[in-house]
Amino acid sequence: MDSKPWHRHYDYNVPTSIRYPRIPAQEVLQIPAGSNPDKPATNFYGTEITFWELRLMVLRMANAMARLGVKKGERVGLHLPNCPQFIIAYYACLSLGAIVVNMNPLYTAEELKLIIETTGMTTLVTFDMVLPFVRGVCKEVDLPRVIVTKVTDFIDGMGVSTAKDLDLEEGWLHFSTILDESTDTRVPKVDITPSDPALIQFTGGTTGIPKGAVLTHANLVAATFQVALWGSPTIPLTPIERRSVLAVLPFFHVYGNIVAMNWAMFSCATLILVPRFDIDELMGLLANFKEITFFPAVPTMITALVNHPKATEIDLAKKLGLLNSGGAPMPVELIDQVRDMGIFFSEGYGLSESTSLGIANPVMGLKKEGSIGIPFPDNDVRLVDIDEGKEDVKPGEPGEVIMKGPLIMKEYWDNPEETANQLRDGWLYTGDIGKIDEDGYFYIVDRKKDMIIAGGYNIYPREIDEVLYQHPKVQDAVAVGVPDEYRGETVKAYVVLKQGEKATEKEIIEFCREKLAAYKAPKIVEFRDSLPKSAVGKILRKVLREEEVKKRKKD
């Protein structure tokens, strides 16, 4: 059997292998700055920054950070929503050989503290709306440098804040001030090799302790080239001056980072920056643009968009060039709806550990119902027996998805045990169970781990379990992903209270929300006298999920 039967299904101009330039990841910005310097790189609520201006801001910020003492190999936390400040800080850090640590602005104080301590972070770039959290955390951890911006500082007409306005702690720095005071636009003389770490991307751990996937400069470059060339059947047909990408996916997530931000640099596309997903705001924003070349999204966003009452009024179908879906399976009804609207789309699969990419449907070519598609160029994928993880399974039989190639992470940060567990002979063991057909198309059947995917976010139930057990009235508890029409899945908690105790659903949810980011907290709580357990006393999450699925089918 052909070891890569999927190659014959590649679109007409997608290469089966790519010669990647041996450059550090930040040099991807040189592509648009050199070829289209005066084109807008970003559009943030109508305020534009050209690629040339962006390049100079990145270099000024890099040199300012170097003067502050940021050195190669140091970890710099980016704790920001999508805004020009994120892009400037991201490429500035990479220019110094520093390692970017992506941080979700929704993290609680406990989660922030854990990531700062795990990575030994020396610098945090954060923003006005989360300062109460950050102040609390900084009292408990040693963080030499804190740089703060106000999100609206980069919107014309909104004025620029000062350190005094933001009431910054003594010694904290103001983003716009250090950028304005730096005039040095020379490229920092730092020796960066492709195998150097560029990014630590946290992914939930089954033990409740998140794992930081270490992605190298080579990983980021390979992913950027792969995703850009995968879209080449249609994207180059739109002239560069009209090319844009709707950046709603957060850049702190590996999917938004690669498929929106880095893709835009390679493709010379204007990033239309959206700091948060609010469907009515988004429809208002879309009305201002004649066309959007590329919109990477998750099924939740796509559903909200195509079913919005204003979709017809703003001629949405004609406006969107290429739609990409990831993060969770796209329902068949939604695929049909997008196809009927006449929008090109591709659905894909990847992990933080594989720099967001891995397997996707061709943009133009054959798509199969329920399939995640075929492997990207240079990405080797196998299905191996679930127990041993060694022997390849036959087509049609379920096996664990394992991947190897230039996308695969270097390691987990400071976690040799988990690294050895997931990476064997260069193969990444994904923990996902899939099947392959005779054409080399892959299908995800189940998840080895009990991960919940809600609205495109990966949620690890064990982490929620641990918080539920911290409640003084709770005796037994388990979190389960249950089907949800809008979010794909939602979090439901099953709780057994201690003898004689009483509690309400609201009380349990509020308790969880204090300790977990909002998207992880349970949305539904069911109180029970007991929970199904195995012979060794392990709560059977799967049984509860199956009960819920059956119940919903009856309804």
- Assess if residue 100 is contained within a domain: yes
Looking at residue 121, which CATH number applies to its domain? 3.40.50.980
* Among candidate residues 165, 193, 221, the one where a domain is terminated: 193
Residue 479 belongs to some domain of the structure: yes
Give the pLDDT confidence score for residue 458 in this predicted structure: 72
Residue 478 placed within a domain = yes
What are the strands, taking DSSP E only, across 448-518? 452-454, 457-459, 474-484, 488-497
Residues lower than pLDDT 50 in the chain: 205-207, 535-537
Give pLDDT, residue 204. 56
Q: Is residue 11 part of a domain?
A: no
Angle, alpha carbons 359-365-366 (nearest 5°): 80
Predicted pLDDT at 540 = 81
Element (H, E) at 419: helix 416-422
- Global pTM? 0.84
**What total of structural domains would you count in the chain?**
2
Q: Give the integer Cα–Cα distance in Å for 57 and 261.
A: 16
pLDDT value of position 206: 36
Last residue of a domain, one of 193, 220, 251: 193
Rounded Cα gap, residues 360 and 145, in angstroms: 40
CA geometry: angle 410, 458, 115, nearest 5 deg: 60
Specify if 511 maps to a domain.
yes
Whether 429 maps to a domain, the answer reads no
Q: What is the pLDDT of residue 207?
A: 40
What pLDDT does 330 receive? 77
Give pLDDT, residue 535: 46
> Which alpha helices (DSSP H) does 449-533 contain, by range?
461-470, 505-515
Task: Answer whether residue 506 is part of any domain.
Answer: yes
User: 167: exposed, middle or buried (C-beta count within 10 Å: 0-12, 13-18, 19+)?
Assistant: exposed
DSSP state letters, 48-92: EEEHHHHHHHHHHHHHHHHHTT--TT-EEEE---SSHHHHHHHHH
Backbone dihedral angles phi then psi of residue 424, each to the nearest 5 degrees: -130, 120
| Domain encompassing residue 469 | 452-554
CB proximity list for 267: less than 8 A, separation 6 or greater: 228, 231, 235, 243, 245, 294
Output the pLDDT for position 554. Answer: 77
H/E element holding 400? strand 399-404
* CATH classification at residue 509: 3.30.300.30
With respect to residue 130, please indicate whether it lies within any of the assigned structural domains: yes
| Domain end (from 176, 193, 210) | 193
pLDDT at residue 205, rounded to an integer = 40
